[in-house]
Amino acid sequence: MKQTVDLLRALADEERLRIINLLSDEPEGVCVCELVDALRMPQYQVSRQLGMLRQAGLVEAHKRGTWAYYGIRPDLPPLAAVMLEDLSAHLQSEAGSEDRARFARRLRLREGGVCSLGYPPETPYREVIPLRGGR
């Protein structure tokens, strides 16, 4: 029962659903900075949401060079696998198209199939990606 509650709790958040939507598009894994650009969210917020998805057993990370790449776990429990499959189909038809378009543009910047840009640490977040509401 606890595993089911954790799964439902992890999926009951718009930001985590947006992340799941993009992760399901890229089976090789995604760098946090690629998610930051696509979702237009601060790095700490994306990392926090990825941590919650990892705790729920939906996402795993693996190192590739300098970066950690996150992806949907291939060995999901049956309920999680069915839910993510249905969610993925549903989210593809929803308003996540802007996220997916930004994500596709960012993935085209990869070199040799890996993130080569990173996130410039000397540049404040607000100068790279505008905050919601124009602040």
Arithmetic mean of pLDDT over the chain: 82
CATH number at residue 13: 1.10.10.10
Using alpha carbons, select from 52, 67, 55, 44 the residue that is nearest to residue 17.
Answer: 52
Residue 133 in this model has a pLDDT that exceeds 90: no
pLDDT tens digits for range 40-96: 899 999 999 999 999 999 999 988 777 789 999 999 989 899 998 888 877 776 667
Tell me which of 82 and 97 has the higher pLDDT: 82
Expressed as residue numbers, the domain containing 119 is 2-134
Domain count, the chain: 1
pLDDT of residue 111: 79
